[in-house]
Amino acid sequence: MSDAPGRTPMIEVRGARKAFGAAEVLRGIDLTVGRGEIVAIIGPSGSGKSTLLRAINHLETLDAGEIRLDGRRVNLPLRGRAFERHVNALRRQIGMVFQQFNLFPHLSVLDNLALAPMRARGLDRQEARALATTYLERVHIPEQAQKYPAQLSGGQQQRVAIARALCMRPKIMLFDEPTSALDPEMIKEVLDVMVELAEDGMTMIVVTHEMGFAREVADTIAFMDHGRIVEALPPAQFFTAARTERAQLFLSRILGH
């Protein structure tokens, strides 16, 4: 992996467990993501991929295990105000992109991007809007700044969502099936932005069904099934020489041979 020697990994997950009622969704997950590393998490639906991603951002609370971001514990046994302060500080360092975009429909594109820098990082309006404009350019839609989300195509909305997360200058970006809600002709424009992000050295965890993207961009492919990471390999090895039967079965289904 791409870690410089002696430096802590960006994300470390150890023994993560989570159940919703009787359903065990995560059954002991270990995962290490180095700085600048890109991990694609693949696997059948219901295998716990999204839950893992949401746990890293503390949108879900683990039942057991621990998660570290840049050496600092994510899941601390805090309550009340202390917990609130902890997760807010943490989430500012983690960018998250959702399947359904989750843009704020009542705000213009520019204000969608400027809101968190203003409120959570204390920038004034002018600074926040300048920052927002910079990142809109990064995702190639500066001309849409004054529009409302509903006026944009799905691909444009998802690019705005990526820019919105980048505005907080996160240490890591989490993508939860970012192209699954898109029409086929819009998938590429979103993936292109993600590729550029990867080339700039962003640490990324991407839950995806886009095997082409996983193969070409990811450093590591983690295959999840029934709440466990069954295999984690570089793409070249994974696609040609997956060791487990379940991974082989999944690949044969999804690649259609």
Centroid of chain to Cα 208: 10
Contact with another protein (CB under 8 A): which of 35, 49, 68, 91?
91
Considering the rule CB under 8 A, would residue 125 count as an interface residue with another protein? no
For 9, 83, 86, 123, 155, the CA distances from 80, given in Å and listed in that order, are 29, 5, 10, 26, 38
- Binding of another protein by 122 (CB under 8 A): no
Site for another protein (CB under 8 A): how many residues? 30
Contact set for another protein, span 41-60 (CB under 8 A)? 57, 59
Closer residue to another protein (CB): 108 or 248: 108
The answer to whether residue 106 forms part of the interface with another protein (CB under 8 A) is: yes
Identified binder of another protein from the candidate list 103, 190, 205, 251, rule CB under 8 A: 103
Residue 107 C-beta: closest distance to another protein, Å: 8
What's the closest the beta carbon of residue 165 comes to another protein, in angstroms?
A: 7
Q: Candidates 3-11, 62-70, 163-171, 234-242: pick the segment binding another protein (CB under 8 A).
A: 163-171
Interacting stretch for another protein, rule CB under 8 A, among 97-105, 191-199, 209-217, 243-251? Answer: 97-105
Residue 135 as a binder of another protein (CB under 8 A): the answer is no
109 binds another protein (CB under 8 A): no
**Does 168 engage in binding with another protein (CB under 8 A)?**
yes
Asked if 84 touches another protein (CB under 8 A), the answer is yes
Read off the tokens for 185. Answer: 């002709």
Helix axes 154-166, 184-199, angle to 10 degrees: 20
Contacts of 138 (CB under 8 A, 6+ apart): 163, 166, 193, 196
Would you say 106 or 257 has its CB closer to another protein?
Answer: 106
Segment contacting another protein (CB under 8 A): 23-31, 93-101, 188-196, 204-212?
93-101
Which amino acid appears at position 6 of this protein? G
Nearest to 50 by CA among 208, 197, 247: 208
Under the binding rule (CB under 8 A), the answer on residue 89 touching another protein is: yes
Q: Which residues bind another protein (CB under 8 A)?
A: 57, 59, 84, 87-92, 94-96, 98, 100, 102-106, 115-116, 119-121, 148, 150, 161, 164-165, 168
